[in-house]
Structure 1
């Protein structure tokens, strides 16, 4: 999903990625690295992936975890949301810039993904300041 000239007021792919990174950085216990390839900026909580930012100028997307039913609904509602790249297609979505993709939407996707992943982490391993 390359960056094209977005409609007035719409996010660009770069802005989408910047917002996703900023949202992730504000969450407790987040680490990031590039364990797979240089073009994948991977964000984790308690050692589990919750956000991937694809650093490819021709494909400015983020990939986040989502409940399967919500993922299906989002894919049908937004043309710039597709089944998750690199991961389970039922539980992950890839989001590109497009109609309806706002700053609030991106932040909600990142925090929602973080919460879903954190729900799988035993309480004793959760970072300080994370939801119980």
Structure 2
């Protein structure tokens, strides 16, 4: 048996970058900053996220830098060859299956709570 499931809650590190392909597919990429429960430093862990399809469109419309989101997905390692040096490169990426819009930093500071819709569309 094998299992590759990642659950994270954190803040968007930047506004989403959206790409529309001729095939009709939509890709949304963004970073997620997650604080460790046991860490005494203020430095978060950073994750690269890729979101496809309808969920990508929702992320593009509702997620903004600093917004609190929850995700569920799977971990993959992307590999490529650096064009300049010819060296092999790699980075971990979370392929998001589910996105929960939990609110924004402004909502917390203003005491408004989180009134964003949630989606589990894949």
Shorter-chain TM-score: what band? under 0.3
Q: Which has the higher contact order (CA 8 A, sep 6+)?
A: 1
Query: Normalising by structure 2, what TM-score?
Result: 0.25
Q: Larger % of strand: which?
A: 2
Query: Normalising by structure 1, what TM-score?
Result: 0.24
Q: Larger % of helix: which?
A: 1
Q: Which has the larger radius of gyration?
A: 2
